[in-house]
Amino acid sequence: MSLHLIIDGYNLLFSTGMVEGTGPLKGLRRELLQTLERYQAARGHRLTVVFDGARDEPASTETSHAGHLRVVFSEPGETADEAIQQRVADAPTETIVVTSDRSLQRSASRSGVVVVSVETFASKVRQALSPSPEEVEDDELDEEPSLSTRKRGNPRRARRRDRRWSTWLRKL
């Protein structure tokens, strides 16, 4: 099954160590997109990377990069978060939003879309591009559900939201 990931581009670029170095924004963005292309080729997911168009003001608001990777720049006067929210409203059920922006996470969750932080996604990308046994073991430990004393029913069963989240996370 192929997932559709809507990625907050600048949030991923500046919040994680996926792209090393400094330089022109266009070069950093290109390096990020090359990494995401390799991830897309390895995993087969459709990726839509949304950048804030106000920073660079490209000639076109939407470009196709390669394969199933689409690059979108927000319209002038529109933020990348607003562009992502519009795409989430039209999104199919197998969509994941990758962002660490709290307000965007809340609005996407209300729309019924699974939300993953950029840090979690970056670790999944690194794992997909260079898997090592240590990373796989560490990742399995992170997915263990936490128990709550307020929960009714089987105390060993994770909350429905946690089970759903971990199922989607395994698909990344």
> pLDDT digits over 134-167, tens only?
544 555 545 555 555 565 667 677 777 788 778 8
d(CA 62, CA 37): 17
Helix axes 118-129, 25-43, angle to 10 degrees: 60
- State the pLDDT at residue 24: 82
pLDDT at 131 over 90: no
- State the pLDDT at residue 22: 74
- State the pLDDT at residue 157: 76
d(CA 49, CA 72): 6
Given CATH 3.40.50, say whether it is the number of domain 4-130: yes
Best-predicted range by mean pLDDT (14-18, 113-117, 166-170): 113-117
